[in-house]
Amino acid sequence: MPARIRPTGFDHPRTSEITSRAVYAQRRDLLRLLAGGAAGAALAAWAGREALAAQALAGTRSAVPGAVTMEKPTAYKDATTYNNFYEFGTDKADPARNAHTLKTRPWTVEVEGLVNKPRRFDIDELLKLSPMEERIYRLRCVEGWSMVIPWVGYSLAELIKRVEPQGSAKYVEFVTLADKATMPYVGSRVLDWPYTEGLRMDEALHPLTLLTFGMYGEVLPHQNGAPVRIVVPWKYGFKSAKSIVKIRFVEKEPGTAWNKAARQEYGFYSNVNPDVDHPRWSQATERRIGEDGLFAKKRKTLLFNGYEAQVGQLYAGMDLKKFY
Ligand SMILES: Nc1nc2c(c(=O)[nH]1)N[C@H]1C(S)=C(S)[C@@H](COP(=O)(O)O)O[C@H]1N2
Ligand SMILES: [Mo]
């Protein structure tokens, strides 16, 4: 499909479809080279300490039902410069501008709570725990915009299996890094730090819930939650916690950052639902980032962000207006 000629006068330029696709293809080729050991010395030097991670990321397309949407991925530039990562500022451009200070090595993820095998994983162990796959998911923010992103990771269930949750473990809590030295907004009053999130155990075990290490065939850029984040495609974006340092198995529904900040506005479930409005705005439609030109139509938001066939049964019989 040729790049559409866009009317001028936008506040910022957009990467053309063709350019972003070519760049994306090149990155994937590079990763394949690295994985196949065919890379020359110069390339190996370039890869430096990212080499290990890159090898792990040369994954295949996922076979999990619903894991690969045919929709056009959002331009890499947009997906990495229009972010929510409040530890680095509240403006969409802040994370790309400020997250260079994040230190992603060394990094450990502590897995604790109601499990038979609590364990601290080094990030390099996590990268090798299970084969990586590419998932192309829609991401829908509660603010009314959406993107399509090719993520790289493996099902969170792979990690969960290995730590053997006990019968009493009903929820999983994710705790993210809160480091004042490297995250300028930690300490500010916008949120209660650290940013935490949670899932019910069956949601956490669902194969679509992705433990994510990369996007567009590369390791995650800092602003997208390096070195490891969760992506839950049928829930509003804020459920997908970035830069995770702790995964805790608990009996009671855990508190979550946005629920603590505004209880009436952000519930625990936060399933994408066009029929349940945010108290201050409708959730019936969304704006796809990269399509916000003069003639772009808003898209209709889909129940469970379009993943109803895969996840609808998790909520059978639940009143989704009450459990929002
Ligand atoms: N630690 C942390 N994780 C976070 C957030 C945050 O502020 N801090 N924002 C959330 C929100 S509101 C969204 S929409 C997604 C955005 O992910 P993206 O920037 O990779 O698109 O990250 C989520 N994860
Ligand atoms: Mo969001």
Give this prediction's pTM. Answer: 0.86
CB atoms under 10 Å from CB of 250, counted, come to: 17
DSSP annotation string for 133-162: EEEEEEEE-TTSEEEEEEEEEEEHHHHHHH
Element (H, E) at 112: strand 108-113
CA distance 176 to 254: 14
Cis? peptide before 65, omega within 30° of 0: no
DSSP 220: P
- What integer pLDDT is reported at residue 292 of this predicted model? 76
Element (H, E) at 56: helix 51-57
- What integer pLDDT is reported at residue 294 of this predicted model? 75
Q: Counting ligands in written order, which one lies closest to the CA of residue 242?
A: 1
Residue of 183, 242, 286, 305 to test ligand 1 pocket, by largest number of atoms within 8 Å of CB = 242
Residue of 183, 216, 238 to test ligand 1 pocket, by largest number of atoms within 8 Å of CB = 238
The one-digit pLDDT tens for each residue of the chain (324 residues) are: 334 433 333 333 333 444 455 556 656 555 554 554 444 443 433 443 454 456 556 657 899 999 999 999 999 999 999 999 999 999 999 999 999 999 999 999 999 999 999 999 999 899 989 988 999 999 999 999 999 999 999 999 999 999 999 999 999 999 999 999 999 999 999 999 999 999 999 999 999 999 999 998 888 999 999 999 999 999 999 999 999 999 999 999 999 999 999 999 999 999 999 999 999 999 999 999 999 777 788 999 999 999 999 999 999 999 999 999
Residue type, 302: L
- What integer pLDDT is reported at residue 56 of this predicted model? 58
Q: Which CATH architecture has domain 62-315?
A: Alpha-Beta Complex (3.90)
State whether the beta carbon of 243 lies less than 6 angstroms from ligand 1.
Answer: yes
CA of 219 to the centre of ligand 1 (A): 17
Given the CA of residue 195, which atom of ligand 1 is nearest to it? 1
Tokens of 136: 């192309």
